[in-house]
Amino acid sequence: MIQLYFFILLPIIIASISYLFKTRYNKPLILISQLILFVCSVINFIHIKSNSPITSILGNYKAGVGIALKADIISSVFVMLTIFLFTCMIIYNFRKHYMNNLFLFLFLILQGLINGIFLSMDFFNLYVLIEVSTIVVSILIMFKKDSRSIYDGMLYLLINIVAMTFFLIGIGYIYKIFGSLDITIIQDKMIRVTDIKSLILPYSLIITAISLKSAVMPLFSWLPRAHGTHSSPSIVSAILSGLYVKCGVYLFFRIQNMFSPAFDTSTIFLIMGFLTAVVGFIFALSQVDIKLILSYHTISQIGLIIFGLSLNNTYSYWGSIYHIINHAIFKSVLFLTAGIIIEEYETRDIRQIRGVFKRMPFVSIFTFMAILGITGAPFFNGSISKYLIQKGSYSGLMDYGFILINLGTILSFVKYLSMFRGSYDGKKYSPPFNQKIAIAMLGTLCFLGGIMGIELIKFLFNVNLHITLDGYLIKSLLYIVSIILGLFFYRFLYKKIKLFNNIREINLSFNQICLTITIYFSIILTTMLILEKYNYI
């Protein structure tokens, strides 16, 4: 068994050493350390899977006093996923000119902080980890130092500081009520709370901050600027969109579980998840910048995940957890290949990019695999997680909502695929070998995660779920019908809808986003007070 703080400190220590001692062997040594770290995460996962969760209290203090780290089956899988994705990104960027010691220093520190968020069970420790990671992410967004990236990075930093102020005030209230900041201890005490009304304010404060970190509607305006800013390196966009935003989703279901003995707000977030998914794909359809299409579609997929987590069903819950992993994989492929396309065509405007398939066959094949994954095509990873989410729907209305969300996903990527059509008579482009390795590994997982999906879920989470042949065939038929509808919509209707042009121009300022945060908090607080008054929670 490996000590849990090892997964937080080792990347930071390696980053510091490589920055202080600049040699030509830094990159190979970092890559080796990543492989060692991944092996250690697998060892811990196997131990947890076979035995029980691992808890570590730093400083040998008693529980509730010292900082608590805990690795259960879900957090250990997410730590493995984090290390794997960071390793792939380092391989992909191995020869990039900006992949210098400073960049690697910041990048590896972010890895350690993300591991810390997944492992920490202490509210104040989470606050510190999120705040520091926010600063690191802001610097990575601004790394190439052009005016647009500096603006986007500063906006991201300031907005997240405002949101985390809500979080800090909320955990202050929690400490006042429970006398502890340990999530496990608070959850155990939650059932004994007699005055439910006293929990509504701290819950509303904390969930507002987490909703912003997760980009829940309407708190998503910061995400496209951060993930899709013009000069942001592709691996930064891939990590932010594929992994870092999932820290918010991870905290969402941890916080929901913590408060669940006192009240149930799943109906509220079932609605919010659906609205987030729909608004996300509408904004994605409105964009002409390929990175912004992918960024807004991350919002839509976050909405789908929260929708599934809020269905209060075993199938939808584990389908959502599995979709977090799947989205991290296929969205990473899409951002990495988008970066290659942008560099080769020297534009991000989808209207000016044609003939990608003939010009970049290798890139195109794995992009298609990722698109098949994200749209839920049969035999690809998204089809399994989406099937499980839909199976957990408990009414026809929920089914129709899910179908609409997935149709929106397909519409977005029918548009995205338009740049692969067209002719090209010049020399074909083949990416460097290291980029091929990273893209091929991730792209292949989109397929393996589909044909081995149920077995993977059983292996990773010790959960036995079943997919019926007739149900899967019906879903596959529905997918084919959705593709036909998507093609028809894009061919005959899309360009006639002027609303998309207006939506594309929506761009909230810092003050407007802060106002939106305040309104969101007020709505959550007021709704919960009303529901509590009439005993609906």
Tokens standing for 487?
Answer: 């093609």
pLDDT of residue 395: 67
Contacts of 38 (CB under 8 A, 6+ apart): 80, 83, 84, 87
CB 371 within 8 A of CB 416: yes
Tokens standing for 507?
Answer: 């761009």
Angle between helix 245-259 and helix 314-345 axes, rounded to 10 deg: 170
Among 387, 342, 434, 349, smallest CA distance to 95 is for 434
The dihedrals phi and psi of 106, each to the nearest 5 degrees, come to -65, -40
Residue listed under structure tokens 């209290």:
57
Tokens standing for 423?
Answer: 């002719």
Among 147, 295, 152, 144, smallest CA distance to 231 is for 144
Q: Rounded to whole angstroms, how far apart are CA atoms 297 and 235?
A: 17
pLDDT of residue 394: 67
Tokens standing for 352?
Answer: 């000016």
pLDDT of residue 492: 86
Q: What is the mean pLDDT of each run of 10 residues along the chain (537 residues)?
A: 86 90 83 93 93 82 78 95 96 82 90 96 94 93 80 90 95 93 91 89 96 93 84 88 94 94 91 95 92 93 95 93 96 95 91 92 95 94 93 78 90 92 84 94 95 94 90 90 91 84 85 94 94 82
CB 141 within 8 A of CB 236: yes
pLDDT of residue 371: 96
Total-model pTM: 0.95
Q: Rounded to whole angstroms, how far apart are CA atoms 406 and 416?
A: 15
Tokens standing for 377?
Answer: 């095509």
Looking from the CA of 445 toward its CB, the CA atoms found within 13 Å total: 20
